[in-house]
Structure 1
Amino acid sequence: MEHRFTAVFERDGDWWIAYAAELPGANTQGRTLEEARENLKEAIALVLEANRELAEREIAGKPVIKEEVVVVV
């Protein structure tokens, strides 16, 4: 599944700080812009997976309906 996020990069001394504007908790750093970019992709994937696992635990054993929702902004 493809997700698109706005990556924000800020220079902080010798480091690049990176975060996804639409996804709280998805932040990281790198010594180079490329390293920060790659680290951010990993951070986003980890946050999405953690959120998915939390949601699955919340509904475990409950009668729920799950369906995909597509949003275009």
Structure 2
Amino acid sequence: MLIERPNVAQPTPEEKQHLERLKTVINNAVADGKISRKELDDIRAATYADKKVTVTELELYRKLVLDKIETGELQYDW
């Protein structure tokens, strides 16, 4: 399914840096194939670090965590 968001502005350099940090936190959390409650809390903290949640951040979380849980590549560890 193609989703278009024509009114979305390009991310600022600060937003890009925040997304890279979030991606790093997520990748470190899922590297072992399991995600603990603490790792999930760390991801949430990194997401809210700039006091806002963007669609791009949610898509990143969906792609790197939720989709992997759905396919069995990642499991909850609690």
Band the TM-score falls in, shorter-chain normalisation:
0.3 to 0.5
TM-score normalised per structure 1: 0.33
Structure with the largest fraction of helix: 2
TM-score normalised per structure 2: 0.31
Instruction: Considering Cα pairs closer than 8 Å and 6+ residues apart, tell me whether 1 or 2 has the greater RCO.
Output: 2
